[in-house]
Structures are given as C-alpha cells and as structure tokens.
Amino acid sequence: MIKIYTAPSCSSCRKAKDFFKKEEIPYQEKNIFVTDLNDAELKDILTKTENGTEDIISTRSKIIKESGVDVNNMTISELIAFIRKNPSVLKRPIMVDDTKVQIGYNSEEIRVFIPHEKRVAEWSCKKADCPSYKNCDANPDA
C-alpha cells in the first residue's frame, strides 16, 4: 500500500492525492501534523532515499533557519527525534511504497506508482490507434 505523508495546506499534496484518485490507486494518507510519525516509518523513508536527509529535509524551513541545526551531523536517532518533534521540516508530499519513495509532486515521476500491468496496457492500446479500444483493457470505460 502506498503511503502519502501530507500537510493540509500543501498544494503539491493535493495534486498527488488527485493523481492517485484519478488512477484509482489505493493509498493511505498520513497528515504529518496529526499523525505521530514513528521511528520505523522514518527509517524506511530514509533508507529508500538517494541522498538521505538532503532529499527529505527542507533546509528553508523556519525551524532549521532559526535553530541553526545541522541535520547532517546528527545521528540517525537524533535526526528521527528531531523530525518527530518538528514534522514541518519534512518536504511534502512524501510518497512511499514497498520499494520506492518520491518526495514532492512531479507529474512524470509519480507514474512509477502506477501498477506495471496498467502501464503496459496503456502503452499497448491507445484510443487513436486501437480499433477495438471500446473493448480494450486500456479503456477505463470498458
């Protein structure tokens, strides 16, 4: 199941949720300001990132700027405790499944969450070049 870590006022979060609804892909939403992020979730996100803290922490956040905290010199335990105490430092949305993570909304990159079978069907049968599109698996109205 895909988890989307969101914030209520985040327009990119709304775009991500709209994408999953449109594609009929089930997801679980976790508002980072309401739901307490646990250690396992944060470790899972961090292990799936390419660049660790650089990918998920917003250095432009008010807390980072005002406190002068250097997240790069924190231990994993310190970092997780810091994020749990200050969830607003996270970039949003964070979308994660069993194998991958995407931070922020990107209309092209988010397509990696479309199940493989559905992507293959989309590629193989398009309305313009498929005489049997009406009965085709790629037709959402079929």
Neighbour tally for 124: CB within 10 Å: 11
Annotated catalytic residue, options 10, 13, 125, 136: 10
What is the 8-class DSSP label of residue 98?
Answer: S
CA atoms within 13 A on the CB side of 17: 16
Here the tokens at position 77 are: 């335990």
d(CA 66, CA 76): 21
Closest CA to 109 of 129, 95, 130: 95
125 is catalytic: no
Neighbour tally for 62: CB within 10 Å: 11
d(CA 47, CA 108): 23
Q: Which are the catalytic amino acids?
A: 10
